Amino acid sequence: MRFFSGKSTQARWFKAILAALCATLLACSDNNSQKHLAQAKAKPDPYTIRFVTINSPSTYFIDSQNNYAGLEYDLAKRFVAFLGPPYKLEFIVVDSFDKVFPTLLRGDADIAAADISITPARKRQVLFGPAFNQVQAMVVYNRDKNSEPNTGEALFEKRIVLPKSTSFVDRMRELQSKSPALTWKETDKLSSEQLIEAVARNEIDFTVADNHLVAIMQYNYPQLDAGMMLGQADKIAWALNKLHGEERLAQMQAFFKKIEKDGTLRNLLDRYHGHTKRLKPVDVTAFLSKSHTLLPKYVRLFKSAQEITDIDWRLLAALSYQESHWDNYSTSPTNVRGLMMLTEQTSNMMNVTDRLDPKQSVMAGAKFLLWMKDRIPSRIPEPDRTFMTLAAYNNGVGHLEDARIIAQKLGLNPDSWADVKRGYQLLNDPAYYVNAKHGYCSCGAPVIYTELVRSYYQIMQKYFPAYDPGVDPYKIAETKMPWLLAKAS
């Protein structure tokens, strides 16, 4: 066995200690460098406004044309434009409402915009901007499977699932204080929209949602209905971090004051929610039934018309349904006929020889709709220009222009469909129609007509894919969720 001398041993210990010390200093240096890098990376750009939101029809989504859409998205985009250069917009989309406030409070977002109800508990956490919408929490049920719930007792021993950390949980707790036997599950895995779909498919018995989302979902699932209201109506607003939100709050207040005064807010609310009460469940059921029995015979014609006019075939199909319910032999008392219910004058204009010929009717109707659109000022933004085109298809460009002039005289925006609707409704009032170029009009009709076409178009967008000329998309099977209760637990 070999022994080391004392001097050699001391040297080895010294070297070991020195190496350890160097390693520690290097590690500390590396850690400090990493911390500085992380801090530099995490430091937000003061000119980038970061909005945290969720995907839903009421907030933020990608529409059928692959464009970003949603009430919260449109408001956020306009807010950043209001602030002007060099401000930029950034969206942070979290996968559940449960993550919205944590993202805001830890400083990863500047504004929470996720259809947020103002509640006393939340006011202790965050700053709220001006309220811009009002909603009512409703118990959602499937009328084919359950009776309308009117009391807390009607919810006993039922499969109830709520989205976690929402105001709906607070509302149910208030109800539970009066009906202690009431129980439910909460989930951060499924959105309100997905839970409503689960009710429609009888995977759960009840959920709670805002009335405007229920109205949108009823167009897709006519078996849905809203039962009792829970609590009072809630106001919707954006939320800010209390630690550094005061300056942003002042900007927000100025922005909402402006868009409320100039009609932009009214127009956006109408764009997303103005048509959602036009159809009754029986209307939706009939439409869905005929979309499986009658529509397939004419899909190719609508798509061919899209190739010529560049008008979404689903909009043309929705218009045709409103006109004739896809009855090729439909004839009105005023002798408008066919799938697109063409007048003799329109038929002559479009060189139609037989209005009962589906091919001629669809193509002529699409071309006439495009011709109408060309008569409307191109400065009018979408989708308002399309809405006005639909009204003109029903009742002529002349009455549309009269309605726009009335809207302008009332101090409203003649390029906003929400405001032009008001002008239309006054064309049966002598105080207005005596000075209108085209005189009296029972012009509630084109308003209702347009809203109904919008409603049918929305349903078409849900169930039928967009058409890309030259590419015939595969039909996608409907998704089921038998795993819902497992994920919700």
Give residues with Cβ within 8 angstroms of 159, minimum separation 6: 203, 204, 205, 206, 485
* Residue in this structure with the two tokens 């996968």, named with its chain if needed: 95
Q: What are phi and psi of 289, to 5 degrees?
A: -65, -45
Q: Are 342 and 352 in contact (CB under 8 A)?
A: yes
DSSP-assigned beta bridge partners for residue 117: 236
Strand duo 137-142 + 224-229: pairing: antiparallel
- Which DSSP string do the residues of 181-222 spell out, in sequence order? T---EEESSS-HHHHHHHHHTTSSSEEEEEHHHHHHHHTT-T
Give residues with Cβ within 8 angstroms of 85, minimum separation 6: none
Tokens representing residue 202 in the block: 């009888």
* Residue in this structure with the two tokens 């549309």, named with its chain if needed: 400
Give residues with Cβ within 8 angstroms of 215, minimum separation 6: 273, 276, 277
Tokens representing residue 460 in the block: 């078409």
Q: CA 163 to CA 140: how far, in whole Å?
A: 13
13 by Cβ neighbours in 10 Å (0-12 / 13-18 / 19+) ranks as: exposed
| 323 in catalytic set | yes
DSSP-assigned beta bridge partners for residue 93: 53
Residue length, the chain?
A: 489
Q: CA 74 to CA 78: how far, in whole Å?
A: 6
Q: How far apart are the first and last CA of the chain?
A: 67
Alpha carbon separation from 403 to 107, 370, 372, 380 (Å, rounded): 48, 20, 16, 15
* C-alpha torsion angle, residues 9, 15, 20, 24 (rounded to 10): 150
Tokens representing residue 329 in the block: 């032999």
Which residue is catalytic, options 323, 344, 382, 401? Answer: 323
Q: Are 149 and 155 in contact (CB under 8 A)?
A: yes
Element (DSSP H or E) covering residue 68:
strand 68-69
* Residue in this structure with the two tokens 């002039």, named with its chain if needed: 405
State the catalytic residues. 323
